[in-house]
Structure 1
Amino acid sequence: MIKSNSKVAPKDAKLAMVHIYVAFIALALGGTAGLLQTLVRSGKYELPAGIGYYQLLTTHGVLLGLVLTTFFIIGFLFASLSKTAGTLSDKVRLSGWIGFWVMTIGTATTATTILLGEASVLYTFYAPLQAHPAFYIGLALVIVGSWISGFAMFTHFGKWKKANKGAVTPLLSYMAIMTMILWLVSTLGVAATVLIQFIPWSFGWVETIDVLVSRTLFWYFGHPLVYFWLLPAYMAWYVVIPKIIGGKIFSDALARLSFILFLLFSIPVGFHHQLTEPGIDPAWKYLQVVLTFLVVIPSLMTAFSMFASFEMYGRSKGATGLFGWFKKLPWGDARFFAPFVGMLVFIPAGAGGIINASHQMNQVIHNTIWVTGHFHLTVATTVILTFFGISYWLIPHLTGRVMTKAMNKLAIVQTIVWTIGMAFMSTSMHAAGLLGAPRRSSFSTYGDAAQAHEWIPYQIAQAIGGSILFIGIILILIIVINLAFFAPKGETEFPVGEVADEAEKTPKLLENWKLWVGVLAVLILIAYTIPFIDMIQNAPPGSKGFKNLL
Structure 2
Amino acid sequence: MLKASLSSKVDPRDAKLSMAHFYVAFTALLVGGLAGLLQVLVRSGKFQLPFGIGYYQVLTVHGVLLGLVLTTFFILGFHLAAVSKTSGTLTNKQRTVGWIGFWIALVGTVMAAVMVLLNQASVLFTFYAPLKAHALFYLGLTLVVVGSWFNSAVIIMKYAEWRRANPGQPSPLLTFMALINTLMWCVATIGVASTVLIQLLPWSLGIVDTVNVGISRTLFWYFGHPLVYFWLLPAYMAWYVVVPKVIGTKVFSDSLARMSFILFLLFSIPVGFHHQLLEPGIDPAWKFLQVILTFLVVIPSLMTAFSLFATFESFGRSKGATGLFGWLKKLPWGDARFTVPFIGMVAFIPGGAGGMVNASHQMNQVVHNTIWVTGHFHLTVATAVVLTYFGVTFWLVPHLTGRTLTKKMNKLALTQGILWAVGMTFMSGAMHAAGLLGAPRRSSFSEYGGAPQAAEWIPYQIAQAVGGSILFIAVLLMVYIFINLAFFAPKGEQEFPVGEATNQAEKAPMVFENWKLWLGITVLLILFAYTIPFIDLIQNAPPGAKGGRFW
**1:344 match: secondary structure:** helix
1:16-35 CA distance string (max 9 Å, x none): 00001100000000000000
| Alignment-derived partner of residue 416 in structure 1 | 418
**1:4 match: secondary structure:** helix
Q: Identify the match of residue 294 of structure 2 among 292, 295, 301.
A: 292
**2:443 match: secondary structure:** coil
1:253 aligns with 2:255: yes
Kept in 2, the 8 Å contact 1:206–1:544? The answer is no
1:316 aligns with 2:310: no
1:36-56 CA distance string (max 9 Å, x none): 000001010111001000000
Kept in 2, the 8 Å contact 1:250–1:503? The answer is no
The 5 A counterparts of 1:402-481 are 402-444=404-446, 452-481=454-483
1:336-362 CA distance string (max 9 Å, x none): 000000000000000000000011111
Kept in 2, the 8 Å contact 1:209–1:545? The answer is no
| Alignment-derived partner of residue 4 in structure 1 | 5
Q: Identify the match of residue 512 of structure 1 among 511, 514, 517.
A: 514
Aligned-partner Cα distance in 2 for 1:128–1:300: 38
Kept in 1, the 8 Å contact 2:229–2:268? The answer is yes
1:208 aligns with 2:215: no
The 5 A counterparts of 1:148-297 are 148-297=150-299
**1:76 match: secondary structure:** helix
Q: Identify the match of residue 77 of structure 1 among 58, 76, 79.
A: 79
**1:45 match: secondary structure:** coil
Aligned-partner Cα distance in 2 for 1:308–1:546: 53
Structure 1 residues 384 and 101, CA, compared in 2 at 3 Å: closer, same or farther? same
Aligned-partner Cα distance in 1 for 2:363–2:448: 24
Aligned-partner Cα distance in 2 for 1:12–1:447: 47
Aligned-partner Cα distance in 2 for 1:448–1:33: 18
Structure 1 residues 222 and 369, CA, compared in 2 at 3 Å: closer, same or farther? same
Aligned-partner Cα distance in 2 for 1:354–1:305: 21
Aligned-partner Cα distance in 1 for 2:58–2:461: 17
Kept in 1, the 8 Å contact 2:198–2:550? The answer is no
Deviates more, 1:498-507 or 1:168-177: 498-507
| Alignment-derived partner of residue 348 in structure 2 | 346
1:38-85 CA distance string (max 9 Å, x none): 000101011100100000000000000000000000000000000000
Q: Identify the match of residue 49 of structure 1 among 42, 47, 51.
A: 51
Structure 1 residues 385 and 343, CA, compared in 2 at 3 Å: closer, same or farther? same
Identity among equivalent positions (%) equals: 70
Kept in 1, the 8 Å contact 2:57–2:116? The answer is yes
- Unaligned segments of structure 2, at least 5 residues: none
Shift of 1:126: 2.3
**1:240 match: secondary structure:** helix
The 5 A counterparts of 1:108-187 are 108-187=110-189
1:486 aligns with 2:488: yes
Aligned-partner Cα distance in 2 for 1:545–1:411: 57
Aligned-partner Cα distance in 2 for 1:75–1:211: 34
| Alignment-derived partner of residue 333 in structure 2 | 331
1:132-176 CA distance string (max 9 Å, x none): 000000000000000011012101110110011111100000000
Aligned-partner Cα distance in 1 for 2:449–2:414: 42
Aligned-partner Cα distance in 2 for 1:113–1:446: 19
Shift of 1:504: 4.7
Kept in 2, the 8 Å contact 1:251–1:499? The answer is yes
Give the alignment's TM-score, normalised by structure 1: 0.98
Could you tell me which amino acid in structure 2 is paired with residue 539 of structure 1?
A
| Alignment-derived partner of residue 527 in structure 2 | 525
Kept in 1, the 8 Å contact 2:366–2:436? The answer is yes
- Unaligned segments of structure 1, at least 5 residues: none
Deviates more, 1:447-456 or 1:133-142: 447-456
Shift of 1:315: 1.3
Structure 1 residues 279 and 407, CA, compared in 2 at 3 Å: closer, same or farther? same
Shift of 1:447: 8.4
Q: Identify the match of residue 373 of structure 1 among 361, 372, 375.
A: 375
Kept in 2, the 8 Å contact 1:119–1:135? The answer is yes
Q: Which runs of 4+ in 1 moved over 3 A?
A: 445-451, 502-505
| Alignment-derived partner of residue 59 in structure 1 | 61
Could you tell me which amino acid in structure 1 is paired with residue 433 of structure 2?
A
The number of aligned residues is 549
Aligned-partner Cα distance in 1 for 2:450–2:293: 41
Shift of 1:519: 0.4
**1:444 match: secondary structure:** coil
Kept in 1, the 8 Å contact 2:170–2:507? The answer is no
Shift of 1:505: 3.6
Deviates more, 1:89-98 or 1:2-11: 2-11
CA RMSD after TM alignment: 1.4
Kept in 1, the 8 Å contact 2:443–2:450? The answer is no
Could you tell me which amino acid in structure 1 is paired with residue 512 of structure 2?
L
Kept in 2, the 8 Å contact 1:314–1:328? The answer is yes
Kept in 1, the 8 Å contact 2:222–2:271? The answer is yes
Could you tell me which amino acid in structure 1 is paired with residue 5 of structure 2?
S
